[in-house]
Amino acid sequence: MAIRCLWLPLLFLVTLGVLYGVGGIREARMQRRLRREGIETKAVVVGHWVMGSAYYVTYRYYHQGECYKRQEQVGESKYQIWPRGTKISIRYLPKNPSVIRIVGEENHYLSMSFLCLASAVFLVSMVIVLGLPWLP
């Protein structure tokens, strides 16, 4: 009975890991495209907030007289040293200036994917190591 109860959390962790993995692959492709085709410029931090253990900044930049704004997750250290008004390096696509990323920021989707999938593997390992006597 106890093993059956573990299938739901296991399914949840695997599903979450796969979804974050797909997002991570998309983000990695976008970052590669920005490195290849993008133009580096400066943006200004206009806001920031924390949601759980995730840190976010909002920044804006101007391209051909038009203002573009984006919210992006950053590491805690960058969050702490980037108050409002701080100029940061960003990269954008000249053909689509609304596609913007902070230069040098890591892909947070992949980190979350690995965390979820590693948790699922740990859960299965514990079931195998501790749960074998429960198996019929």
Quote the CA–CA distance of 32 and 122 in Å, as a whole number.
Answer: 32
pLDDT band for position 133 (cuts 50, 70, 90): low
Residue 3 predicted with pLDDT over 80: no
Closest CA to 103 of 84, 88, 120: 88
| pLDDT tens digits, one per residue of 82-129 | 999 999 999 999 999 999 999 987 655 656 666 667 777 777 776 666
Helices then strands, counting H and E runs in the chain, come out as 4, 5
The pLDDT of residue 57 is 95
Q: Classify residue 45: in a domain, yes or no.
A: yes
* C-alpha triplet 42, 29, 115: angle, nearest 5°: 100
The domain tally of the chain equals: 1
The residue segments making up the domain with residue 75 are 19-134
- pTM: predicted TM-score of the whole model, two decimal places: 0.69
Q: Classify residue 103: in a domain, yes or no.
A: yes
